[in-house]
Amino acid sequence: MSGESAMESAAAVENMLGEIAGVGRASTGGYQRFAWTREDHTLREWFRGAAEAVGLDVTEDRVGNQWAWWGDPDASLRAGRPGVVTGSHLDSVPGGGNFDGPLGVVAALRAVDTLRRDGFTPARAIGVVNFVDEEGARFGVACAGSRVLTGALSPDHALALTDGDGITLAQALTAAGRDPRALGRDDEALARVGTFVELHIEQGRWLVDEGSAVAVASSIWPHGRWRFDFTGEANHAGTTRLADRDDPALALASLILTAREAAATLGCVATVGKVRVVPNGVNAIPSAATGWLDGRGADEAAVRRLVPMIEQTLGTRAVEESFTSTTRFDPALAADLAGLLGGAPVIGTGAGHDAGVLAAHGVRAAMLFVRNPTGVSHSPAEHAEAADCAAGAAALTTVLRSLAAS
């Protein structure tokens, strides 16, 4: 076993996170790390260097997800022992924190490095993955990297997605020096993954209230994204009487309030976190307004009722951009990991993850959560104590040691 102390381990995790702390820092104090941008390129190069520094061989799949392997995954597969993979993502939401995604990548690299220094000999290949575009912040579809990988998102659909500047994913890939025609489902890469375990900061306060540093995930709530489009008539903000106005921003405001009321009635959560107003001038009545609704909840039937209730109240129809049903992680694996970690609690989550996409595809998958003292995520206030990060990395090390031993 490694002779490294808990304090040394915590410092090592902090140092690794610090290596990328300056990448994509926004004026808000948070991060702007979007797919296929200069910041994304910098993070991808950092991942390659960090993985190679601990002796891993880095490859990419047809989507651009990065896989760093200890051992030959194809030889492992031929021997009937497909690999054990861990990791997460490095991109962010607008103004996001430094832990959502990066902590899972850093903990994975630390866990593998610890096992190597301990002299552990895995019976199957161990991989660390950096999934691209998990947040969907640029092109609007969450977990795009894992969705295209598994075939849940078709290449044609993905390539036609546009960002806020009207740039398609195909154009963004070309600008990043990649061939859009190569994008697609990659069964060869997926076949190498026998078990996937993703570590992530908890996006809530359950672990704080329960006094536990680490938990195991049971499931991911159903999650949908819908777009509401409203049209009106552009006009002068100072010379047009209120009675003469056809202002679509009023409908947008109604959407925000109605979504909140409907969610409370159904026991769900709903957020209109992204809006677009045209022409977006302070002295102009808009000609169009668009709001994007995010809806989730423990009860899938209730989440499905959310939008029809809003549509009935507003008298308009929404466009469904994505919907993911309840995702349940392998219950036997979750129970095994909880026992392996000394009776760690098993909890559900309202946040989507690449692990959920793989689980929905049939991959044996699990998640570990690390305590978040603020309970805040997708914000500069997102935080995890160094000791808890080290505890998460130690838990992941224990899990990988067990899963890769035979």
CA 144 to each of CA 63, 150, 165, 397: distance values in angstroms, whole numbers, following the listed order: 9, 10, 19, 28
Residue 2 confidence (pLDDT): 58
- The 10s digit of each residue's pLDDT in 267-296 is 999 999 999 999 999 999 999 999 999 999
Q: Report DSSP letters for 14-69, one per residue.
A: HHHHHHTTTTTB-TTSSB---TTSHHHHHHHHHHHHHHHHTTPEEEE-TT--EEEE
What the block records as the tokens of 259 is 């979504």
pLDDT at residue 3, rounded to an integer: 61
pLDDT in tens, 11-58: 999 999 999 999 999 888 899 999 999 999 999 999 999 999 999 999
- Mean pLDDT, rounded, for 306-312: 98
Could you give the CA distance from residue 64 to residue 122 in angstroms, rounded to a whole number?
Answer: 26
Tell me: the pLDDT tens digits for 323-377? 888 999 999 999 999 999 999 999 989 888 999 999 999 999 999 999 999 889 9
Phi, psi torsion values for 269, nearest 5 degrees: -125, 145
121 pLDDT more than 90: yes
Q: Is the distance from CB of 297 to CB of 222 less than 8 angstroms?
A: yes
Edge to edge, what strands does the sheet with 288-296 contain?
Answer: 269-278, 288-296, 223-231, 319-324
Mean pLDDT of 93-114: 96
Q: What's residue 6's pLDDT?
A: 75
What's the average model confidence in pLDDT over 387-398?
Answer: 96
Encode pLDDT of 50-74 as tens digits: 999 999 999 999 999 999 999 999 9
Percent of the chain with pLDDT over 70: 99
Q: Helix (H, G, I), strand (E, B), or coil: what is residue 298? A: coil
- Compute the residue count for the chain: 406
* Average per-residue pLDDT for the chain: 95
- The pLDDT score that the predictor gives to residue 27 is 87
pLDDT for position 127: 98
Residues whose CB falls within 8 Å of the CB of residue 50, separated by 6 or more in sequence, listed in order: 16, 19, 109
Q: Which residue has the tokens 């925000």?
A: 256
Residue range 166-177, pLDDT digits in tens: 999 999 999 999
Neighbouring residues of 2: CB distance < 8 A, sequence distance ≥ 6: 114, 117, 118
Backbone angles phi, psi at 43, to 5 degrees: -65, -40
> Quick one: pLDDT at residue 322?
84
